[in-house]
Amino acid sequence: MSPVSSKKTTSDKQMPVSKKLKLGILFSGIILLAEFIGALVSNSLALLSDAGHVLTDVLALSLSYFALMQAKRPSNFKMTFGYHRIGVLVAILNSISLIGIAVFIFYESFQRFQNPPEINAGLVLPVALLGLATNLTVALILHREQKENLNIKSAFWHAAGDALASVGVIISAVVIIISGNYLADIVVSIIIGLIISLGGVNIFRQGLRVILEASPKDINLNQLADSVKTIPGVKDFHHIHIWSISPEIHALSAHVLIDDCPVSQADDIRQHIETILKESFALSHVTLQMECQVCRTNDILCQLEIEQKPHLHKHH
């Protein structure tokens, strides 16, 4: 292991994801209080919008922490796949809250556009600067983990979106101080809402793909099947099911047609297939049905049907 890798490993041990989330909750709680009071005193919609987003940050980080703890629970007879999808559900819930806060911002922006209020930009500016520093800190804390975990990604986007919102609030405060044009506060609020809603929609779509058990986007099913068929002893590879238990854990089940042979030889073929799937397609949870007779249908996909009679073509 290289010195860099060792350093990263040591750093990860010193700062686990759960502790990072706790720090994020603490920092976000502090800035929420500061921005809410500042918004009320200064009468700034942009700052109030940012405070509303920070509130969803606190909720998102708290839910992400809860989901992280649940994912560590072992499988049991009631939850044979474990509790990994709780994180996906939390990510979807967080994305809906992002979209909801964006809708609120658009509504308030429309109301204020008709009657722009006077804003104390001198108070808004220092509060927004504090918010920017805090939100950037939280985003940086979660940056590495968000690449591999949709639950953490949803929390990261809350913090990152809020950092962008703080930049917008700072710009609007400077414009108001220089020009006295209070419409800048409304324009920035709308931009903030658009950024937040785009992040929310993206996370919602990713979470929905997992819930609907869609094939992972980065896996080409035809390429996967062709790779397995090149393995010595494999005559056909079909009736493939591939889905995600969570965005980080992909699973596959399929039928493998081979010659009638000893169990030990079939097991060697199975191990070879599993090695290819793990190394080339990052599939570590694989269930294979070895068979030496052609199925009723040898389509690459298995068409699930509800039948009155017992299904003769069973998955084992």
Summarised one tens digit per residue, pLDDT across range 52-79 is 767 777 877 787 788 778 778 888 888 8
- List, for residues 19-44, the tens digit of each pLDDT value: 888 888 888 888 888 888 888 887 77
| Cα three-residue angle 186-57-160, rounded to 5 degrees | 70
d(CA 219, CA 242): 9
Contact 237, 256 (CB under 8 A): yes
Q: Please report the sign of the dihedral spanned by the C-alpha atoms of residue 52, residue 53, residue 58, residue 62.
A: positive
| Cα three-residue angle 182-185-188, rounded to 5 degrees | 145
Terminal-to-terminal C-alpha distance of the chain: 40
User: Looking at the domain covering 3-211, what would its CATH class be?
Assistant: mainly alpha
* 214-316 CATH fold: Alpha-Beta Plaits (3.30.70)
Residues of the chain with pLDDT under 50: 1-12, 316
pLDDT at 22: 84
Using the 8-state DSSP alphabet, how is residue 260 labeled?
S
User: Over the range 30-62, which residues count as b (16 or more CB within 10 Å of their CB) and which as e?
Assistant: ebbebbbebbeebbbbbbbbbbbbbbbbbbbbb
Domain residue spans of the chain: 3-211, 214-316
